[in-house]
Amino acid sequence: MNNYDFTGRVAVVTGGAQGIGGAVADRLAAGGAKVAIWDVDLDLAKEKAASLDVAHPVKVDIADFAGVEAAHAETVEALGGVDILVNSAGVAGMNATVADYPVDEFHRICAINLLGTFHVNKVVVAGMRERDYGRIVNIASIAGKEGNPNASAYSASKAGVIGFTKSLGKELAAQNISVNCVTPAAARTRIFDQMKQEFIDYMLSKIPRGRFLEVEEAANMIVWLASAENSFTTAGVFDLSGGRATY
């Protein structure tokens, strides 16, 4: 396992209490970063923060921009200016055909996964530009590239994350700020609780490696993208698909 030096860096990990975000928080803290755990579940965020050397739990719903602004202000006061953002918070939503998909549910998924990505990226960018340093990694999904049937809201929202990441990466390319995203295949996290078993089986059937992604494997790629060693690559999309991705 490669180790990266994050000494003196302040990182925000949304959805950092568990799953891929939790694994990333562990690696960032092990490298010396001060980590803000932004999560809608404050109790879980507190548990994760307590397990790390220097961490601060923050309760936030990333779909609420005013709440995100408040979370950022609290983080800066507690830890300092944000150097690293790993945006892992997201929801799968229900599985249904487009004809049967509830309008409110579609809006909810996009509000968290896509608008939430915009919100958290927006609040950290100004400070990164002032300091001429930043590393942003947004967690998209292979569904955003391929489109999973009966998951139109999730697929569309994650496709939006990919396009948003490419746009912001190009905006900031003249500075020492990188903005990339990863497109994981399914990992067995609590997000599976939102899915029907037949949909879980479908996702597994699409992965040539024949197994789900481990969150530690995702963290291995993400922490490099969040490190100073990633000094050139930006506006990129990195697959974690176990061979599923075809482009």
Write the CATH number for 221: 3.40.50.720
Residue 201 belongs to some domain of the structure: yes
Q: Domain limits at 91?
A: 10-238
Number of folded domains in the chain? 1
Cα dihedral value 125, 126, 130, 134, nearest 10: -10
Give the separation between CA 216 and CA 148, rounded to whole angstroms.
Answer: 24
pTM > 0.85? yes
Residue 2 belongs to some domain of the structure: no
Residue 182 belongs to some domain of the structure: yes
Give the separation between CA 178 and CA 235, rounded to whole angstroms.
Answer: 7
The single residue of 4, 101, 154, 202 carrying the catalytic annotation is 154
- For the chain (247 residues), the mean pLDDT of every run of 10, in chain order, is 93 97 98 98 98 97 98 98 98 95 98 98 98 98 94 98 98 98 86 73 88 94 98 97 86
Angle at 196 between CA 115 and CA 107, to 5 degrees: 20
Residue 246 belongs to some domain of the structure: no
Active site residue 247: no
Residues near 232 by Cβ (< 8 Å), separated by ≥ 6?
A: none
Q: Can you list the alpha helix ranges (DSSP code H) found in the chain?
A: 19-30, 42-50, 65-79, 103-110, 116-131, 143-146, 152-171, 197-205, 215-225
Q: What is the structure's pLDDT at 192?
A: 66
Give the separation between CA 15 and CA 23, rounded to whole angstroms.
Answer: 10
Q: What is the structure's pLDDT at 114?
A: 98
Q: What is the structure's pLDDT at 1?
A: 75
Residue 20 belongs to some domain of the structure: yes
- Residue with the two structure tokens 């939790």: 22
DSSP lists the bridge partners of residue 240 as 184
